[in-house]
Structure 1
């Protein structure tokens, strides 16, 4: 989930470990097209509005993983899922967002009659994790 902010190395906030989204209200944003991930896109835009601003979108990244290269070229800043931290690009730093974490759903699709032990065990574990997450959130 988008729990990280990508900043170019020379950015005024690049020395902070955690960044408040509101502090980036004046920065140009790099975002991927909504068609790639509507829930994630809406979550990012909604978080900006909740922080009191409408993001100024300077550029659309053709895919989420391409945002780091555009940040490195100093076209703007990007909100990306935490898993993107593994994409290391020169002159880009990752920062946690302060406040409530952004969240979006994911889906698991598999063949109903699949008999592979690896697949059936993976599906079982995902279902157990989902059930535990629902219990802890009161759903």
Structure 2
């Protein structure tokens, strides 16, 4: 047997009358005349199949059927109000779920402060954080596995939007006993002939090419002796004496006793950290995240 639908407007009228136990007071509270209120209650009683109120001159009281319906009616109205509030919060970019990919080195710079400020502003948003290098982040964006990527030197790609989050200079990474460690700033040309420890190009082509470009501008091609995906591993291999490296300045926060970080001379070149998202993704939480870092997404494309 099909259950009759109970319109929420009738349930609302029923709950108000059950609380006031007076048709005139309930109608005034609802902002309607008394006859429409009586009609709504009678329609609801028709759907239930039993009277919900005893009607006596000057007195209204709930019947047993009315007392049984009242808690369920209140739950239904509260559930609707909660659902509407939750939907508004998600639509406004104040709640929901946001999946963020990030390059591991950003845990040393922008990521902790960004996440702290975002959580302060949007405490009801659930964050799913995924550590990924640049190339996997771009693939994950296209595959809709993440909503936003925080990555280094991304190449512009069709369908993705980008906003610069920060720029930072490069540093030379040396064993602390290396002769060049005595200098405050090291000309890149003085690294010619030294073995290099670098991440594979595949995990971050833009940054890798920028480092190679720095060496090319100084007149040489770096001789890569070791590869390591994570910068912490790069620094560990440098500490072990397996080579030198060029890295974003935030790498200095990796504290290793046997590693020296020095500025480069000249030091005009900077590396960019950008946020990336799919232009066809209308998730308002993306705009909320970009607003936290002072950036706005462009129009969907």
Please state which band the TM-score falls in when normalised by the shorter chain: 0.7 to 0.9
Which of residues 193, 214, 219 is equivalent to 1:47? Answer: 214
Query: Secondary structure of 2:233's partner?
Result: helix
Partner of 2:189: 22
Shift in Å, 1:90: 1.7
Calculate the TM-score normalised by the size of structure 2: 0.39
Larger radius of gyration: 2
The structure that is helix-richer by fraction is 2
Count of aligned pairs: 127
For 1:9 and 1:102, the matched residues in 2 are separated by 24
For 1:26 and 1:45, the matched residues in 2 are separated by 14
Q: Which has the higher contact order (CA 8 A, sep 6+)?
A: 1
Partner of 2:275: 107
Partner of 1:66: 233
Query: Contact conserved, 1:2 with 1:79, CA < 8 A, in 2?
Result: no
Which of residues 245, 251, 254 is equivalent to 1:78? Answer: 245
Calculate the TM-score normalised by the size of structure 1: 0.80
For 1:28 and 1:91, the matched residues in 2 are separated by 17
Q: 1:119 to 1:7 in 2, by over 3 A?
A: same
Q: 1:36 to 1:117 in 2, by over 3 A?
A: closer
Mapping of residues 123-134 of structure 1, within 5 Å? 125-127=294-296
Query: Secondary structure of 1:35's partner?
Result: helix
Two-structure CA RMSD over aligned residues (Å): 2.4
Query: Secondary structure of 1:26's partner?
Result: coil
Q: 1:2 to 1:75 in 2, by over 3 A?
A: farther
Shift in Å, 1:97: 0.8
Q: 1:77 to 1:116 in 2, by over 3 A?
A: closer
Partner of 1:131: none
For 2:209 and 2:191, the matched residues in 1 are separated by 18
Query: Contact conserved, 1:114 with 1:120, CA < 8 A, in 2?
Result: no
Consecutive unaligned residues of structure 1, counting only runs of 5 or more, are 129-139
Partner of 2:292: 122
Query: Contact conserved, 1:4 with 1:80, CA < 8 A, in 2?
Result: yes
Query: Secondary structure of 1:103's partner?
Result: strand
Consecutive unaligned residues of structure 2, counting only runs of 5 or more, are 1-167
For 2:191 and 2:239, the matched residues in 1 are separated by 17
Shift in Å, 1:15: 1.0
Q: Deviations over 1:69-124 (max 9, x none)?
A: 0000000001111111111112101001111324346333386323599625325x
Query: Contact conserved, 1:6 with 1:79, CA < 8 A, in 2?
Result: yes
> After the TM superposition, which segments of 4 or more aligned residues of structure 1 sit over 4 Å from their partners?
115-118
The structure that is strand-richer by fraction is 2
